[in-house]
Amino acid sequence: MNNSANGSGNGATAAPILECKDLCISYYTRAGEIPAVVDFSLTVQPGETIGIVGESGCGKSTVAMAIMQYMGHNGGITGGSIKFKGRDMTKMSEAELRQLRGSEIAMIYQEPFASLNPSLRVSTQLLEVPMTHENITRAEARERCMQVLRDVRLPDPARVMNSYPHQLSGGQQQRVVIAMGLLSNPSLLLLDEPTTALDVTVEAGIVKLIADISAKYGTSQIYISHNLGLILETCDRVFVMYSGEVVEEGRIKSLFTWPRHPYTHGLFACIPLPTADKNAAPLRPIPGQLPLPHERPVGCYYAPRCNHFKEGLCDARHFPMEKVEGDEGANHFVRCLRWREIDHHQEAPGGDPRAAAEIGDCCLEVTDMQKYYPVKDSSLKALFTGKRMRNVKANESLNFRAHEGETVAIVGESGCGKSTFAKVLMGLETGTGGEIRHDGVDIAEIAVRDRSNRQISSLQMVFQNPFDTLNPSHTIGAQIERVVKKFGVEKNKAAVRERVMKLLDTVKLPRDFYYRKPRQLSGGQKQRIGIARAFAGNPSMVIADEPVSALDVSVAAAVTELLTDIQREHRTTLLFISHDLSVVRYLADRIVVMYLGQIMERGTTEQIFSPPYHPYTEALLSAVPIADPEVTKREIVLDGNVPSAMDPPSGCPFSTRCPRKIGAICETENPPERQASERHYIKCHIELDELRKVEEVIHVPKEEERIRAE
Amino acid sequence: MALQTTITGAEYGGALVRALKSFALLRESWIGMIGAAIIIFWSLVALSAPWLAPLDPNAVIQAFAKPGAAGPDGVTFWLGTDHLGRDILSRLMWGSRTVLFYAPIATVTAYTVGILMGLAAGYRGGLVDDILSRISDIILSFPVLVLYIIVIGAVGASGVNIIIAITFASAPGIMRIVRGLVLDLRNRDYVAAAQTRGDSDWRIMLVEILPNARGPLIVDACLRLGYVIITIGVLGFLGLGLPPPDPDWGGMVNETRQMAIVFPHMTLMPCIAISSLILGFNLLADGLREIALRD
């Protein structure tokens, strides 16, 4: 049907490692056969890294599973072939496949903690690989394991070998899993979202490692991700999938600079690129939803959501991919009948500009806020010194302010204390010291049960996990109604109901969702209900704890836009907690960067994103994957892991990983907070003048300097 | 923006519609259907015993009749008679009323106590959890039979006391299950949402947490009903059940066991009745679990 992937950009001299041709994969369920992937063709050359990008449900993981021939009992290949080094895998026996898996083809999964057996030492799990597939002695196998562990840049491989998985951090575990994949020197490595579960700075290290592997081992890789930025940093060629089929493919540079398919355009308009701005160039969500496999339309699957849909053409029949003329080496293909007619400049990211929100008076003032958790120290040393109780400093002297209508982001990696702060603010925990003044009242030490109804209703929260935020046992209507009644917004039964209906309108969901149960909703819809519930009591301040991190890019864009719209309308203060600096840069007016319970830097978004930087901010900025090939970044990869809050470094908390450490003072003294400009503070021993000399981390070319501009 | 899907009538329906819908789901598990059929059969027998039973269960007619033997006045003893000459079929029918009356009531009582304890222990944690868990540990450390003998010995043999004894012995086990479920559920964001709007602890436990624990609890309740039936049988057998002469399956086994070698039908018939009913509940539980796992 299509011959798109055949013939590679780099000469097609060597035999391809993997060739999928017209692959069709279906799942069999109670509802009948569900075609998960249709007409998938792909060729992987030796040493090449292929990226597969798409939103959940587009079939990208199914492709990986099919390549491994590991479909489970209800999946099957209904057409096409998968040739690995010229042999058809679909016709191989179970024994032959077992020989291939783990030795010729290795797979790395999303969650490192789930890929390693918690009850076996790392050495046992690693040694198994070469000893099963090759006839070598234990000593040789051990030597090989140590070598590979060094190659994945794990410090002290001998110690790692003897550890149990739980003794390693998430990043170290993922490195062990990658080492396990590399042990038998496979020709093909499948990586299914290998960094999604990791922190950004750790992710940056793994991404660099993955890029180095193909250079060092010559391993071909298939990298599956929903993150366009990561794909850009790791891959040579990219496949964009939508609803079970490839809609566009080509070499990275070509596809990222000149996307041709309306869906690819849509994806780029949904991610907060450095050029996006919540007022001047907002995100532009893709209308509609991904069709379910049995509801796919005839013709182009993207047609119902496409601006360029033409009746009689796009919905006539299913059509193959077309080659895009131009750069021959790019091998750029697109599944669109109208790509020549579309004005691709018009499709560039950035929606219609709108007026900036007005910023009012100060409504939240945090002064020297502290939250300590007491823990019992049962070590021998504690027994002798008599210090049996220790304090874990989850928050140490936090200072910042938020104004009405403003968006303040708290950024930091896991364990930095941002969620603890949210808990104290909401009253689920009480602070140990300092003040949190909200509307003039200090609420740091008032638990939620002791707060007045008005205090509670003025502070509401949007939660992270859409699958957890709504109670599966109650209808949507009942759950929003509860808030309306509880805070006494409306008393009369009919009025309460009317208010819920209005809220459903506000979050752009149909009114008959009132009767639905959460399980009938998609992740994005649940998150909208979560927002409706948070705004039901007319709060003056809403805390959003990573509200879009679990959502697909197009859904996340819609939810982000919804949140800003409602905020603008109600002049609500938004406290946005996130680890993702690209979303934060887009949304926030002010940013607070936290590390191990302390604020390292705070200031306006522009101040944070340009020098002077705190060294940690600098590393965080460098770690953000940006899906724009013309944006250049300075590479700063941090060593090591975030230290445990139980045992923080003395002196500056960042001293153990800081690339700009100036000497012993960093390890002994807590750095002073220096004022760089108005309301911009940096907590570092390095003089501000030194920090000012630092170069910009992210360089965004001017619009007229861009290749695209021509 | 969202997909418009039509809502079926059941979305709007009340508890009855939903119960019927769940029952329709059960049709997909034939094991569950067999279990349900057995339970429905015995329930019908119990309900219509006064009309269905051919003879008075306590009437002494003719001792040691074999199954199918003809009695005076043209009656047939389909399952024979016992050592006192009472019709076994009629006694089984009347006896099913005892079991099917006390077993569900005892189970519901045990569940009410167990759930309340489990919710408090799991949600509050800390000292409350410690106290409740240790109490249940103490109760669970006794062999159940000894517990029954102690409790019934202390308060005397009667219907209400059977319920008390069963509640006392099973509530700790139920508490442990509920506590485990609550420990998981209380960390969900919707519980945090309820906390941040200042809802009371009991409201959070009963409205936000408990409904989400119902799946595993319903399966467990079916299994436990089976055990309670055994228990009631055992209590009858030990002479701690309902006082004679009213028919009680466990009591029937006890009264006739010494003659079981000569007249096996007198002991066998009530035994078959007990096991079939327990089997019914176990199969139903298996079916429910199968359906729960599938979704």
Tens digit of each residue's pLDDT (9 = 90 or more) over A106-158: 888 888 888 899 899 999 999 988 888 888 889 999 998 998 898 888 878 88
Residue length, chain B?
295
pLDDT in tens, A39-84: 899 999 988 899 999 888 888 888 988 888 888 778 888 888 899 9
The residue assigned the tokens 């038998």 is A184
pLDDT score, position B3: 36
Greatest distance between any 2 Cα atoms in chain B:
80
Q: Do A461 and B208 count as a contact with CB atoms less than 8 A apart?
A: no
Q: Is the pLDDT of residue A169 over 90?
A: no
For A20, the enclosing helix (H) or strand (E) is strand A18-29
**ipTM of the complex as predicted:** 0.80
For A146, the enclosing helix (H) or strand (E) is helix A138-151
Q: Do A460 and B11 count as a contact with CB atoms less than 8 A apart?
A: no
Cβ atoms of residues A238 and A252 within 8 Å: yes
Structure tokens at A235: 């891959």
Q: Is the pLDDT of residue A8 over 80?
A: no
CA angle A429/A432/A433 to nearest 5° reads 130
CA angle A15/A19/A25 to nearest 5° reads 170
Residue B178 pLDDT class (50, 70, 90 cuts): very high
Considering only residues B131 and A28, tell me which one the structure prediction assigns the higher pLDDT: B131
Q: Give B206's DSSP letter.
A: I
Q: What is the CA radius of gyration of chain A?
A: 27
Structure tokens at A538: 């007319």
A451 touches chain B (CB under 8 A): yes
Helix (H, G, I), strand (E, B) or coil at A634: coil
Q: Which chain B residues are within 8 Å of A448, Cβ to Cβ?
A: 195-196, 198
Lowest model confidence (mean pLDDT) among A117-126, A386-395, B163-172: A386-395
Q: Which chain A residues are within 8 Å of B7, Cβ to Cβ?
A: 512, 515-516
Average pLDDT in chain B: 84
Interface test with A, best of B29, B189, B217 (most A CBs within 10 A): B189
Question: CA-to-CA distance for A148 and A181, rounded, in angstroms?
Answer: 10
Lowest model confidence (mean pLDDT) among A22-36, A107-121, B11-25: B11-25
pLDDT in tens, A582-622: 889 999 999 999 998 899 999 999 999 988 999 999 999 99
Q: What is the mean pLDDT of residues B72-95?
A: 82
Q: Which domains does chain B have, with CATH numbers?
A: 10-294 (1.10.3720.10)
A463 touches chain B (CB under 8 A): yes
pLDDT score, position B12: 47
Nearest CA in chain B to A539: B197
Collect all residues from B whose CB is shorter than 8 A from any CB in A.
1-4, 7, 11-12, 188-190, 192-193, 195-199, 207-208, 211-212, 214
Tell me whether residue A77 is exposed, middle or buried, using C-beta atoms within 10 angstroms of its C-beta: 0 to 12, 13 to 18, 19 or more: middle
Scanning A483-502 for CB atoms below 8 A from B yields: 483, 486-487
Q: Give B6's DSSP letter.
A: P
Q: Is the pLDDT of residue A671 over 60?
A: yes
Please name the residues in contact with A477: beta carbons below 8 A apart, sequence gap of 6 or more.
A497, A500, A513, A514, A515
Q: Do B198 and A460 count as a contact with CB atoms less than 8 A apart?
A: no
Q: Is the pLDDT of residue A576 over 90?
A: yes
pLDDT score, position A433: 87
Give bridge partners of residue A372 from the DSSP assignment.
Answer: A393
Q: Which chain A residues are within 8 Å of B3, Cβ to Cβ?
A: 289
pLDDT score, position B54: 81
Scanning A429-448 for CB atoms below 8 A from B yields: 448
Q: Do B196 and A460 count as a contact with CB atoms less than 8 A apart?
A: yes
Residue B278 pLDDT class (50, 70, 90 cuts): very high
A70 touches chain B (CB under 8 A): no
| Phi, psi for residue B77 in degrees, rounded to 5 | -90, 90
Among B190, B211, B212, whose Cβ lies nearest the Cβ of A469? B190
Q: Do B190 and A456 count as a contact with CB atoms less than 8 A apart?
A: no
What number of other Cβ atoms are within 10 A of residue A386's Cβ? 6
Alpha helix stretches (DSSP H) within A380-451: 380-385, 418-426
| Phi, psi for residue A59 in degrees, rounded to 5 | 95, 10
Helix (H, G, I), strand (E, B) or coil at A266: helix
Q: Do A510 and B4 count as a contact with CB atoms less than 8 A apart?
A: yes
Q: Which chain B residues are within 8 Å of A426, Cβ to Cβ?
A: 196
Cα distance from B291 to chain A (closest Cα, Å)?
Answer: 13
Residue B14 pLDDT class (50, 70, 90 cuts): low
Nearest CA in chain B to A464: B189
Among B2, B193, B212, whose Cβ lies nearest the Cβ of A510? B2
Q: Which chain A residues are within 8 Å of B211, Cβ to Cβ?
A: 471, 473-474
Residue A550 pLDDT class (50, 70, 90 cuts): confident
pLDDT score, position A327: 67
Structure tokens at A265: 């355009």
Q: Do A471 and B196 count as a contact with CB atoms less than 8 A apart?
A: no
Q: What is the mean pLDDT of residues A22-30?
A: 86
pLDDT in tens, B241-273: 777 667 788 888 888 888 888 888 888 898 999
pLDDT score, position A308: 87
Nearest CA in chain A to B186: A468
Residue A195 pLDDT class (50, 70, 90 cuts): confident
Q: Is the pLDDT of residue A5 over 50?
A: no
Q: Which chain B residues are within 8 Å of A525, Cβ to Cβ?
A: 2
Q: Is the pLDDT of residue A12 over 50?
A: no
Cβ atoms of residues A200 and A593 within 8 Å: no
Cα distance from B106 to chain A (closest Cα, Å)?
Answer: 27
Considering only residues A246 and A111, tell me which one the structure prediction assigns the higher pLDDT: A246
A471 touches chain B (CB under 8 A): yes
Residue A7 pLDDT class (50, 70, 90 cuts): very low
Residue B208 pLDDT class (50, 70, 90 cuts): very high
pLDDT in tens, A449-470: 888 888 898 999 998 888 889 9
Provide the percentage of residues in chain A whose pLDDT is more than 70: 96
pLDDT score, position A157: 87
Cα distance from B184 to chain A (closest Cα, Å)?
Answer: 12
Q: Which chain A residues are within 8 Å of B188, Cβ to Cβ?
A: 468, 471
Question: CA-to-CA distance for A436 and A361, rounded, in angstroms?
Answer: 16
Pick from A680, A686, A632: nearest CA to A659: A686
Q: Is the pLDDT of residue A644 over 50?
A: yes
Residue B183 pLDDT class (50, 70, 90 cuts): very high
Q: Which chain A residues are within 8 Å of B208, Cβ to Cβ?
A: 471
Q: Is the pLDDT of residue B69 over 80?
A: no
Interface test with A, best of B6, B197, B208 (most A CBs within 10 A): B197
Question: CA-to-CA distance for A123 and A141, rounded, in angstroms?
Answer: 10
DSSP output for B147-169: HHHHHHHHH-SSHHHHHHHHHHH
Q: Which chain B residues are within 8 Å of A482, Cβ to Cβ?
A: 197
DSSP output for A485-513: HHTTS--SHHHHHHHHHHHHHHTT--GGG
Cα distance from B279 to chain A (closest Cα, Å)?
Answer: 29
A389-403: strand order across its sheet: A389-403, A362-376, A433-438, A441-442
Cα distance from B24 to chain A (closest Cα, Å)?
Answer: 15
Scanning A540-569 for CB atoms below 8 A from B yields: 558
Average pLDDT in chain A: 86
pLDDT score, position B2: 38
Nearest CA in chain B to A468: B189
Q: Do A471 and B3 count as a contact with CB atoms less than 8 A apart?
A: no
What number of other Cβ atoms are within 10 A of residue B224's Cβ? 25
Residue A183 pLDDT class (50, 70, 90 cuts): confident
Q: Do B211 and A451 count as a contact with CB atoms less than 8 A apart?
A: no
Cβ atoms of residues A687 and A622 within 8 Å: no
